[in-house]
Structure 1
Amino acid sequence: MTARSGRFAGRAFLVTGAARGIGEAVARQLASEGADVAAADLDTAGLSALQASLQALGARVIVKNLDTRDASATNSFVADAVQHLGRLDGAIPCAGIARTAAAETMDDKTFSDVLDINLKGVFYTCRAVGEVLLAQGRGAIVTIASITAKGGQPGRANYAASKWGLVGLTKTLAVEWGHRGVRVNAVAPNGVDTPMIRDGIPPAFLDDVMLDRTPLGRLAQPAEIASAIAFLLSDEASYINGAVLEVDGGLTAGFLTHRHGADFARAGANPKNMEKKP
């Protein structure tokens, strides 16, 4: 096989939730920069398509239909990845779901499914990969938090709890593992243009609330989140550990904002003279 070049040449990473959305974009970004990839998801067809496209880039790839709530299966996949790829240099546990309901009517399964996948599943992945990274004394993990871990969000008691918990997990692993050569960070996206967003958020809420309050005025593209993750995995971020990088178009930079943050500025700070949105 011809030697590959790029920022991650000679390295290998494990990605869960890799068949679409952020996980797919991360897998493609890493492979395009020279990495080999172990990709897991429950979408078998999506994994097959991803495998073919990454192999076309010259990457060695192993894929597995995996439910990250299964700790034993996750451990086995990590072992298979090391055997097949010869090494692991990090992980990006992207598998996650969202289920919306008012707290007072949310049933047990809706609550527990989100916590089990978004938090427990991430822990199982980090624990299994962390064992490999700690043994070799080097590596990096990036988890997928959310701007929802900055405050509450109506209808998402389960999702908010999972992402607040994930930030705590990320920082704890960073403290435990940093001095042993393993960095652990997170990205915290705003809305990302993925099927989860398009299928799960009413268009009126997306336009009139989320985008209206985002200074950049648009959703992120998965590739933009993947680029931030690649930076945190890279040697350029060698002194970044325990950070939660907000990749949110400026949403959390302010509060009480409207019209992409230009409400008061546009009217000379006089609410009586507020212009209508063009």
Structure 2
Amino acid sequence: MELTGIESTVALVTGAAQGIGAAVARTLADAGAHVAAADRNPEKLATVVAKLEADGTPARGYAVDVCDSAAVDAAVARVEEELGPVGILVNAAGVMHTGRVVELRDRQWAETLAVNAGGVFHVSRAVARRMVRRGRGAIVTVASNAAGVPRTEMAAYAASKAASAQFTRCLGLELADHGIRCNVVSPGSTDTPMLRAMHVGDPELREVVEGMPAEYRVGIPLHKLAQPRDVAEAVAYLVSDQAGHVTMHDLYVDGGASLHV
């Protein structure tokens, strides 16, 4: 299926410096979008943008911390001044602090919620205000299957992703009258630097694929990890014309690991 409605559209992607965010930026750029790649790490972001430009795909980098509401508003205004109206927003910025709740520090909890939930709010609000005036647009938030399945040592992450997912569905309900669609993509274990940092003692990530009974975690029925491109292609579908009647949906991309109904 050829996806339409992406070509020549300005797509703002947060968390674009690595992992799923970088894959989303690449996938949308390959589909013809003018990508505004945003991240708080300017060095890694510059590398991603340089690769896109070297391949002849239009992209521009914007260093911004999604936790800073004023900085987000300024960045979105700059994107629209330099590239044009944002027609696609993908919230892919995220952090993870792991640890049992009784050992979790205030700073870890606060940062996780600030980036994964607060950042989605700040960026979505700034973009939605502009989309409403134009009566069109598509927003996708990259959440996690942990938002719907309890995980040991991931309480802060799971809570933040559950918040961002429900926020996005509520936003979709509010914006439906304006022709703006809001959806969620919930990946499972995906081969990214974030995942590998969690499993430094298991370079082949066998426990992730096969499951960890001691942590009440089933394996992945498809017997493989997702690649960032798998998630990016789900995002691309949801922002395309082919998903024109899909909104407030939560698409799990986890190989069946959550046994999601």
Q: TM-score, normalised by structure 2?
A: 0.91
Amino acid at match of 2:223: G
Q: Does 1:215 align with 2:221?
A: yes
Q: Distance in 1 between matches of 2:260 and 2:32?
A: 38
Cα distance change, pair 208–58 in 1 and its aligned pair in 2 (3 A) = closer
Structure 1: runs of 5+ lacking an equivalent: 256-278
Does the 8 Å CA contact 1:7/1:34 hold for their aligned counterparts? no
1:230 corresponding residue in structure 2: 236
1:263 corresponding residue in structure 2: none
- Per-residue displacement from partner, 1:135-191 (whole Å, max 9, x unpaired)? 100000000111101121111111111011112101100110012111000101110
DSSP 3-state at the match of 2:62: strand
Q: Distance in 2 between matches of 1:7 and 1:180?
A: 17
1:180 corresponding residue in structure 2: 178
The CA deviation at 1:211 is 3.7
Q: Does 1:165 align with 2:163?
A: yes
Does the 8 Å CA contact 1:31/1:57 hold for their aligned counterparts? no
| Identity within the alignment, % | 38
DSSP 3-state at the match of 1:246: strand
Q: Distance in 2 between matches of 1:129 and 1:209?
A: 36
Q: Distance in 1 between matches of 2:205 and 2:58?
A: 38
DSSP 3-state at the match of 2:98: coil
The CA deviation at 1:6 is 6.9
Match of 1:13 among 11, 14, 21: 11
Q: How does 1:12-31 map to 2 (within 5 A)?
A: 12-31=10-29
DSSP 3-state at the match of 1:90: strand
Structure with bigger gyration radius: 1
Match of 1:198 among 196, 199, 203: 196
2:129 corresponding residue in structure 1: 131
Q: TM-score, normalised by structure 1?
A: 0.86
Q: Distance in 2 between matches of 1:254 and 1:46?
A: 34
Q: How does 1:54-133 map to 2 (within 5 A)?
A: 54-133=52-131
- Per-residue displacement from partner, 1:177-218 (whole Å, max 9, x unpaired)? 012111000101110100000012355594235444111111
Does the 8 Å CA contact 2:4/2:242 hold for their aligned counterparts? no
- Per-residue displacement from partner, 1:33-62 (whole Å, max 9, x unpaired)? 111011111222221122222223433322
Amino acid at match of 1:208: E
Cα distance change, pair 178–6 in 1 and its aligned pair in 2 (3 A) = closer
Does the 8 Å CA contact 2:149/2:258 hold for their aligned counterparts? no
Q: Distance in 1 between matches of 2:237 and 2:201?
A: 32
Q: Distance in 2 between matches of 1:189 and 1:6?
A: 23
Q: Distance in 1 between matches of 2:15 and 2:210?
A: 25
DSSP 3-state at the match of 1:8: coil
Cα distance change, pair 174–7 in 1 and its aligned pair in 2 (3 A) = closer
1:246 corresponding residue in structure 2: 252
Cα distance change, pair 57–202 in 1 and its aligned pair in 2 (3 A) = closer
The CA deviation at 1:252 is 2.2
Match of 1:49 among 47, 50, 56: 47
Cα distance change, pair 162–210 in 1 and its aligned pair in 2 (3 A) = farther
Name which of structure 1's ranges 60-69 and 183-192 shifts more when overlaid on structure 2: 60-69
Amino acid at match of 2:30: S
Amino acid at match of 2:128: G
- Per-residue displacement from partner, 1:96-146 (whole Å, max 9, x unpaired)? 011011101111001111000000011101001111111100000000111
DSSP 3-state at the match of 2:258: helix
Q: Distance in 2 between matches of 1:18 and 1:8?
A: 18
Cα distance change, pair 202–114 in 1 and its aligned pair in 2 (3 A) = same
1:140 corresponding residue in structure 2: 138
1:35 corresponding residue in structure 2: 33
Amino acid at match of 2:60: I
Does the 8 Å CA contact 1:32/1:57 hold for their aligned counterparts? no
Higher relative contact order (CA 8 A, sep 6+): 2
Match of 1:189 among 187, 190, 194: 187
Cα distance change, pair 10–241 in 1 and its aligned pair in 2 (3 A) = same
Does the 8 Å CA contact 1:90/1:133 hold for their aligned counterparts? no
